[in-house]
């Protein structure tokens, strides 16, 4: 093509991944919280969720509604869940940060107010992938989340 410029576009797609964090001082304490949530699940509500998802006869087994209703971990709609000590959750998040195509991590917590506080005070400072924040900013201006 003489005299013409061909334009080629490269598309780079990335994702934000969603995780629930259930963390505590030790793995055992965090695991006890998680087991307590599962033991206290509203089985009637979960059965209703499963029943409702079964009414969809058009979509496949891999659809969102079927995943959310899967009894394996329906107590938190089968969301990816990081359960462990503050140090181990920090390591898990560092691992997630290395997955190609992961642009960021969206977080929710079992108890949002204390969870966000614990994340900022106990988890994020241990994350290698966030070390730049703690090495370049004075304490009063550090980003917590």
pLDDT at 119 over 70: yes
What mean pLDDT is reported for the chain? Answer: 85
Domain span at residue 130 reads: 15-141
Cβ burial, residue 136 (10 Å; 0-12/13-18/19+): exposed
Report which listed range, 29-38, 71-80, 130-139, is most confident.
29-38
Q: What is the distance, to the nearest Å, from the Cα of residue 141 to the centroid of all Cα atoms in its chain?
A: 25
- Is beta strand 102-109 parallel, antiparallel or unpaired with respect to 15-24? parallel
Residue 143 in tokens: 């980003």
Compute how many other C-beta atoms are within 10 angstroms of the C-beta atom of residue 114. Answer: 11
In a domain, 89, yes or no: yes
Position 32 in a domain? yes
- Give the start-end residues of each E strand in 63-129: 80-85, 102-109
119 located within any domain: yes
Report if residue 6 sits inside a domain: no
Domain count, the chain: 1
Residue 8 lies in a domain: no
**Is 1 among the domain residues?**
no
Question: Cβ atoms within 10 A of the Cβ of 124, count?
Answer: 22
pTM exceeds cut of 0.85:
no
Tokens of 131: 């070390």
pLDDT for 2: 58
Alpha-carbon torsion 114, 115, 120, 126, what sign? positive
Q: Is the pLDDT of residue 140 over 60?
A: no
Average pLDDT over residues 63-69: 69
Inside any domain, residue 137: yes
How much is the pLDDT for 47? 84
Would you say residue 113 lies in a domain? yes
């Amino acid at each position: 093509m003489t005299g013409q410029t061909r334009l080629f576009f490269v598309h780079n797609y990335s994702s934000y991944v969603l995780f629930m964090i259930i963390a505590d001082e030790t793995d055992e304490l965090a695991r006890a919280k998680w087991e307590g949530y599962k033991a206290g699940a509203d089985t009637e509500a979960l059965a209703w969720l499963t029943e409702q998802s079964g009414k969809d006869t058009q979509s496949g087994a891999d659809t969102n509604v079927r995943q959310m209703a899967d009894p394996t971990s329906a107590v938190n709609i089968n969301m990816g869940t990081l359960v462990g000590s503050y140090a181990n959750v920090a390591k898990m998040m560092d691992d997630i940060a290395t997955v190609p195509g992961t642009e960021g991590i969206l977080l929710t917590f079992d108890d949002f107010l204390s969870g966000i506080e614990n994340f900022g005070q106990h988890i994020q400072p241990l994350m290698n992938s966030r070390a730049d924040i703690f090495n370049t900013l004075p304490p009063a201006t550090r980003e917590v989340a």
